[in-house]
Amino acid sequence: MAKKATANGRVESTGAEVKNPALQRPAAEILYADELVKLAAGCLNDPRPPGWKLTPQAVLRFVLGDPEHGLAPKFVGRRSFLERCVISLATNRGLMLIGEPGTAKSYLSELLAAAISRDSTLTIQGSAGTTEDNIRYSWNYALLVSEGPTERALVPAPLFLGMKFGKLVRFEEITRCPLEIQDVMLSILSDRVMAVPEFQDDDRMLFAQAGFNVIATANTRDRGVNEMSAALKRRFNFETVPPIADIQQEMELVQRESSRQLQRSGVPVTLPPEMAELLVTTFRELRQGKTIDGKGIEGISAVLSTAEAVSTGSAAAIHAYFLGSGTVQPAHLVQHMVGTILKDNPDDLKKVQHYFEHVVKKRTGHHWNAFYESRGELG
């Protein structure tokens, strides 16, 4: 049964069924299958780009949400930004999402792929070890030896499948790939065709079906790892995914997403609003190097993103459930903040301790007082 949070952080059943409870993280098209079916039924006769499952308007409603029609909000961002992303995917250019780590670039690409293609699983994970086989196709060598280069012997990679079936392909962290691997995309994005020289005659060329396109992501801290060639950049429309500007929206998102993670984990505890306030305010102030009232503080080098706030809040709730009273306390947050902070620079911990002594100590309210009293958990 689905659950909802109560004021004290407990969870009650709502009577709705949770699909695939055994999956740790269902794909967006599974998690939101009912919404996608509802949206598709409502725009059956409306114009849409060739190969798309939904109209551009329905894609925006899916991503931004429409509470009046039972559509949950899934991404916090300006509508104009999302409109540009959606329209880019209807053109002959790919979409490149860039931004700071943890700004939900990958999640946005997943939502767009789920809405447009009803399949977000055609994903290439960029890394130093990514090869052309991981992008295009490879071979089952046992079948290749026995049958020759047949379709049965070919092992399709995400790009091959996306072109063959007219679906969006997601290329995560593209700038982590070597330049020669990135440039595999050049001719495909230009001509929408992939050569398979091992095949014979007409089968040697795979032409992309309507609906095919590419969504790539790169975070701004890593763009210089393997800078994209100018030729490849010209084949993408670049859009920057900014951090969430409104603190209230960020708190709501952290509560919503942490509750979803906890529900999938079978933990009947959620993050209370006052704990979300502590967590999000602390992360934002340390990330921006200033307090919410504009006073300068010493920021830290670790990336305290919204995504990491969700993970920290979820860890605190799990801690409270299994090793505590069942209600998240400020001490749980402080304990699990340490693992998020200590990633890049050991001196960051001293800066956080300084933040507690000079910022948190002066805040009023029971939960802020308890947060300050838990500073010993920082070590």
In CATH, the number for domain 78-240 is 3.40.50.300
Q: How far apart are CA 152 and CA 324, in angstroms?
A: 55
Of 6-15, 63-72, 142-151, 243-252, where does mean pLDDT reach its minimum? 6-15
Q: What is the mean pLDDT of residues 339-357?
A: 89
CA distances from 76 to 68, 71, 227, 342 (A): 18, 14, 28, 28
Q: How far apart are CA 258 and CA 278, in angstroms?
A: 15
- On the question of pLDDT at 224 being above 80, the answer is no
Q: In the structure, what pLDDT confidence band is assigned to residue 7 with cuts at 50, 70 and 90? A: very low
Q: In the structure, what pLDDT confidence band is assigned to residue 21 with cuts at 50, 70 and 90? A: low
Q: What is the mean pLDDT of residues 85-113?
A: 95
* pLDDT score of 289: 93
- On the question of pLDDT at 9 being above 60, the answer is no
- On the question of pLDDT at 363 being above 60, the answer is yes
Q: How far apart are CA 60 and CA 73, in angstroms?
A: 10
Report helix angle 306-323 to 247-264, nearest 10: 50
Q: What is the mean pLDDT of residues 300-326?
A: 94
Cβ neighbours around 204 below 10 Å, total: 12
Q: What is the mean pLDDT of residues 373-377?
A: 95
- On the question of pLDDT at 140 being above 70, the answer is yes
Q: What is the mean pLDDT of residues 253-267?
A: 91
* pLDDT score of 364: 93
* pLDDT score of 263: 87
Cβ neighbours around 180 below 10 Å, total: 10
For residue 209, give every residue at least 6 positions away whose Cβ sits within 8 Å of its Cβ, in sequence order, or none: 51, 163, 164, 165, 166
| pLDDT, averaged across the chain | 91
240 Rama sector, left if φ>0, alpha if ψ -120 to 50, beta otherwise: beta
Report helix angle 347-358 to 273-288, nearest 10: 120
CA distances from 138 to 13, 73, 195 (A): 47, 39, 13
Q: What is the mean pLDDT of residues 185-191?
A: 94
Report helix angle 105-117 to 79-89, nearest 10: 50
Q: How far apart are CA 352 and CA 335, in angstroms?
A: 13
Scanning the structure block, which residue is given the tokens 């009577």?
15
Quick: pLDDT tens for 116-137: 999 999 999 999 999 999 999 9
Q: How far apart are CA 286 and CA 300, in angstroms?
A: 6
Quick: pLDDT tens for 27-55: 999 999 999 999 999 999 999 999 999 99
* pLDDT score of 18: 45
Q: How far apart are CA 142 and CA 154, in angstroms?
A: 11
Q: How far apart are CA 68 and CA 59, in angstroms?
A: 16
213 has which bridge partners?
Answer: 168
Would you list the domain boundaries of the chain?
78-240, 247-378
* pLDDT score of 23: 77
For the chain, how big is the Rg over CA atoms in Å?
23
Q: What is the mean pLDDT of residues 152-172?
A: 97
